[in-house]
Structure 1
Amino acid sequence: MSRFAAESSCLPATPDALRALIEQRRAVRRFLEEPVPDAVLRDCLEQAVLAPNACNLQPWSFQVIRDAELRRRLGPVCLGQNAARTAPVLIAVLARPDTWRESCAAVLDQWPEPQVPEKVRHFYERTAPFQYNQGTFGLRGLFKRALYGVVGLRRALMRQPNSHAEMRLWAVKSTALAAQNLMLALQSHGYATCPLEGFDEVRLRQVLQIPRRAVPIMLLAAGRAADNGVYNPRLRFPLEERVSWH
């Protein structure tokens, strides 16, 4: 546990404190030159990976870019956006649909008790591999879709993911949860963020040497907000237009 986590564990979490933190978070487009300390970045990344995720397979990875030259090269990759050009740190948030096999083994190897429960071992040795292995050219996934179509006539069952495209979606959902944790953690330390989805993925892969099957879902700019960092007042649509009650 980090020093920051140890200190915060003594503080009660209140709805008002959480609301204040969420309301403070804005997408900041301009940053000061002040660097973000490595200890803060590590603490925030530790909080990021506490995010809920599918089957605890933690299908994410992060590349923390502090080097000035590398950040300069990423400016054009991010289409010249001010957030990318001025932030003292950029974090590439990657979804990893390709790491499920290693993660299944890691869960069993790193289980936090002396004995792995038999149900847990069975899940990660049998159930999860059946669920997430899509086979060469996705042929195994094609077979599973047909199987689920028949079995699903009689009972409810988990039908996805059963294609490489659905594996990407599976990983992106969990990674997005971790990214939100990361933004709120940085906000709690007084650092602003801007999630950047506007970038040239081909050039991003060339600059950062991203693994072939990893999915870059955002570049997160982080740092102290400049006075002119927030461009516009916040706008959210009325809740009644987006929520149904049953």
Structure 2
Amino acid sequence: MTSFPNEPTPAMASPAELRALIESRRAVRRFTPEPVPDAVIRDCLELAVLAPNSCNLQPWSFQVIRDPALLAQLHPVCMSQNAARAPLIIAVLARPDTWRQACRNVIEQWPEAEVPARIRRFYSKTAPFQYNQGPLGLLGLFKRQLVRLMALRKPLMRKPNSKADMRLWAVKSTALAAQNLMLAFQSHGYATCPMEGFDEVRLRRVLDIPRQAIPIMLLAVGRQGEKSVYNPRLRFPLEQQVIWR
């Protein structure tokens, strides 16, 4: 939102380096018991939250599970799959419920001495109206009708205007952070496996996940073990999935 012309341009990885990092990442199903150092975990989480996200409201949270007893409880919750025996599991949660506090945080934690008027106005008025769906979603219903009328005259952003829209809104940004997180661990030499195979009801009990938070994956992390990549990589040809216009 605000440019900083005096800041040096950060060093960038070459295309070859980036390709090598991305190509080296595989879903690893078996890990050694070697623990992941806290400094590495923190560094990777710091890189995760640098991911682009909607209106900089950062609708995500993470639970870092290292305790052996808690990891043992998670194993059956994750359908007893091999990847769930990793020495580290990070629960990646989308948070459609944190936008109010995030709006306040942007203003309170703005990285300049003065908060620009347009920033203060957006996060104190525009964003709260945009993301508030009201009790039982009634405000969202009203906004949907309002948008339909206003869009007859000009293009408008039509979502999020429902509870379901807010869930999708949060999941999209959180998925970007999760990809950053996996690549960050890969750069440190640690393998990962994003697990979607888990019992969400039991997961919420074990980890005491807030009611409105959405567990989008459990990320297993550790040193790669033997026979840990089950199959060769398969990606469909770009021609099947890309349209050039």
Query: Which TM-score tier does this pair reach, normalised by the shorter chain?
Result: over 0.9
Matches of 1:125 and 1:12, distance apart in 2: 35
1:178 alignment counterpart = 177
Determine the structure 1 residue equivalent to 2:25: 25
* Residue equivalent to 1:60: 60
In structure 1, the partner of 2:112 is 113
Q: Deviations over 1:6-59 (max 9, x none)?
A: xxx986410000000000000000000100000000000000000000000000
How much does 1:126 deviate? Answer: 0.6
| In 2: Cα distance, 1:14 partner to 1:229 partner | 29
Deviation at 1:181, TM superposition (A): 0.1
Runs of 4+ with deviation above 2 angstroms: 9-12
Q: What SS is found at the alignment partner of 1:62?
A: strand
Separation in structure 1 between the aligned mates of residue 35 and residue 193 of structure 2, nearest angstrom: 16
2:201 corresponds to which residue? 202
Gaps of 5+ in 2: 1-8
TM-score, reference length from structure 2:
0.95
Residue in structure 1 matched with residue 100 of structure 2 by the alignment: 101
Following TM superposition, by how much is the alpha carbon of 1:227 offset from its aligned partner in structure 2, in angstroms?
2.1
Residue matched to 2:3: none
Letter in 2 for 1:58: Q
Q: In the alignment, which residue of structure 2 is the partner of 1:153?
A: 152
Number of residue-to-residue matches in the alignment:
237
Secondary structure of residue in 1 paired with 2:152: coil
Determine if the alignment matches structure 1 residue 15 to structure 2 residue 15. Answer: yes
* SS state at 2:182 partner: helix
What is the CA deviation profile of residues 180-222 of structure 1, one whole-angstrom value per residue up to 9, with x for unaligned ones? 0000000000000000001000000000000000000000000
**1:203-222 residue pairs with structure 2 within 5 A?**
203-222=202-221
Q: In the aligned structure 2, how far is the partner of 1:231 from the partner of 1:72?
A: 23
Corresponding residue for 1:88? Answer: 87
Distance in 1 (CA, whole Å) between partners of 2:97 and 2:10 is 38
Q: What CA distance in whole angstroms lies between the structure 2 residues aligned with 1:113 and 1:232?
A: 50
Read off the aligned partner of 1:125 and give its amino acid letter.
S
CA distance in structure 2 between the aligned counterparts of 1:155 and 1:119, rounded to whole angstroms: 23
Which runs of 5 or more residues in structure 1 are unaligned?
A: 1-8
CA distance in 1, matches of 2:12, 2:243: 32
Tell me the distance in 2 between the aligned counterparts of 1:17 and 1:160. 37
Give the CA deviation at 1:116: 0.4
Deviations 1:109-168, CA, capped at 9 Å, x for gaps: 000000000000110001100100000000000000000000001101111000011100
What is the root-mean-square deviation in Å for CA atoms of aligned residues?
1.0
Q: Which amino acid aligns with 1:16?
A: A
